Structure 1
Amino acid sequence: MDKLNLSKHISSQFNEELEQIRNHVMSMGGLIERQLYDALAAIANSDSELAQQVIANDLKVNDWELQIDKECTRVIAKRQPAASDLRLIMAILKSINDLERIGDETRRIAKVALESFNSDQQDLLVNLDNLGRHVAQMLHDVLDAFARMDVEAALTVHKEDKKVDREYEAITRQLMTYMIEDPRSIPKVMNVLWSARSLERIGDRCKNLSEYIIFFVKGKVVRHASHEKLEQEVRGD
């Protein structure tokens, strides 16, 4: 808690409650990061068992969201936090919602991977490798930024989303060309397109998480701002 420069309270129990909630968010984030890496590994290695494990573990992600939500609600009702404490709770509530959505997208990717095994659709999924690794690195970096509430690291993640969007657009064009050349491929290509879309959405969620970090540290709501505008807002203090 000290590293985040959070306010100290007369009640040591309040400090412990906030620390526990923050630790639970990091545990949830760690699980989701592992889920994403496993889903991508399942695709790369045609590992149906690993894909099934990712799908099953999504229930654990949901459980974490419910638990942390209850803990935050209890702290608000009991402690009536103000200033930075309230911003922290609000940032956490927003973050666990986006983390849960990342979990949903990861489950969808694993389902497509599972359906693609024993079919030539598997070859098309290889197109997702670079995008998948890029998004996985974004998730890792934003979780690390959240652990330290590092605004500069959050800004770096925020900027990466544009690169992810460009990669997604390139894959979409490539797969659309494939469908035009071979209309029989449309059903299997559509599955790969949905997986690419899931990865792009994970990038969007990572961008959101970076904005919640900035909200907590700077007390500024920066949703929908361009990256250039965001940098001006954050560094213009």
Structure 2
Amino acid sequence: MSPSNPVLSHHISSQFNEDLQDVHTKFMSMGGLVEQQVANAIHSLLDTDANLAIDVQFKDNTVNQLERDIDEGLTLILARRHPAAIDLRMVIAMSKANTDLERIGDEAAKIARIAQNLCEEGESPRGYMETRHIGNQVRVMIHDALDAFARLDVDQALKVVMADVDIDREYQSATRTLMTYMIEDPRHISRVMNVMWVLRSLERIGDHARNISEQVIYMAKGTDVRHTSIEEIEQKVHQK
């Protein structure tokens, strides 16, 4: 959490400051855990590490508990402090981003379950190169989205939104490649399908990172940029 975040700097009520800062700290802790969950899930798959895959699935319970704690904290702030203007936007944005973080955790657990199954089967199927590449990209997206949230950095948020376009394109390309491979060699359909599910989870993680970044823009600019073209988002970010 960065003290330079203007939303967390000065309020009339010092108690409001403490309440909001406490929830923000939990949010960033959850973000760090989720980022590590994604990294570990990918490593468990690529390194054939069944124990790490099991650990990721177990730690999803901690992610879920943090989501509940953050929701409760934000609800109490709304009930007790009645925030307005940018403070209210902060609470709303954090609530929505909290849901996205939890869903990233769910996708990491899905990848870990698939990794555990593939570890038990042995030989690595096709598609691991694509998994490594797209996995590295979405990990950077999560990190950058959380960094943008901590610093209320709209330029960084825009960078994540634009990166999601590349992820979608690469996901579609990888899917076409693996579909062609399965047609040519049907013996490995089941195993390659598992890798395609991993790639689908990674693509969804990219979507959630984008959603978090869109909430940064909402906090900073007061503008809802969901379901908006990249060109329009860029224009709104750079408006004075």
Do they fold alike, i.e. is TM over 0.5?
Answer: yes
User: Partner residue of 1:33?
Assistant: 35
Q: Quick check: 1:113–1:122 contact (8 Å CA) kept in 2?
A: no
After superposing on structure 2, the runs of 4+ consecutive aligned residues of structure 1 that deviate more than 3 Å are none
Give the conservation status (yes or no) of the 8 Å contact 1:54–1:110.
Answer: yes
Other-structure match for 1:3: 4
CA distance in 1, matches of 2:42, 2:189: 23
Tell me which residue corresponds to 2:195.
192
Q: TM-score, normalised by structure 1?
A: 0.96
In structure 2, give the amino acid aligned to 1:36.
Answer: V
| Aligned counterpart, 1:119 | 121
1:213 aligns to what?
216
Aligned to 1:161: 164
Given that residues 121 and 189 in structure 1 are in contact (C-alpha distance below 8 angstroms), is that contact kept between their aligned partners in structure 2? Answer: no
Residue 132 of structure 1 corresponds to which residue in structure 2? 135
Per the TM alignment, residue 14 of structure 1 is displaced from its structure 2 partner at its CA by 1.1
**Per the alignment, do residues 111 and 141 of structure 1 end up closer, same or farther by CA in structure 2, a change over 3 Å counting?**
same
Query: Greater shift after overlay, 94-103 or 122-131?
Result: 122-131
Query: What letter corresponds to residue 143 of structure 1 in structure 2?
Result: L
Distance 2:126 2:211 in 1: 29
Deviations 1:143-177 (A, max 9, x none): 11111110000000110001101110111011101
**1:173 paired residue number:** 176
Secondary structure, counterpart of 1:189 in structure 2: helix
1 CA distance for matches of 2:122 and 2:133?
A: 20
Kindly report the root-mean-square deviation, in angstroms, between the aligned alpha carbons of the 2 structures: 1.3
Post-superposition Cα deviations, 1:7-26, rounded to whole Å, max 9, x if no partner, equal 63332111011111111100
**Which segments of 5 or more consecutive residues in structure 1 lack a partner in the other structure?**
none
Q: State the match for 2:61 in structure 1.
A: 59
Residue equivalent to 1:91: 93
Q: Which amino acid aligns with 2:224?
A: V
Residue identity opposite 2:176 in structure 1:
R
Quote the offset at 1:233 in angstroms.
Answer: 1.3
- Is the alpha carbon distance of 1:121 and 1:83 closer, same or farther for their aligned partners in structure 2, counting shifts above 3 Å? farther
Deviation per CA, 1:102-126, whole angstroms, max 9, x where unpaired? 0000100011111001435623252
TM-score (norm: length of structure 2): 0.95
Aligned-partner Cα distance in 2 for 1:221–1:192? 35
Distance of 1:152 and 1:9 partners within structure 2: 25
Structure 2 segments unaligned to the other structure (5+ residues): none
Alpha-carbon distance in structure 1 between the residues aligned to 2:44 and 2:119: 10
Q: How many residues align?
A: 237
Distance 1:121 1:78, change over 3 A: farther
Give 1:119's aligned amino acid: E
Which residue of structure 2 aligns with residue 80 of structure 1?
82
3-state secondary structure, aligned to 2:121: coil
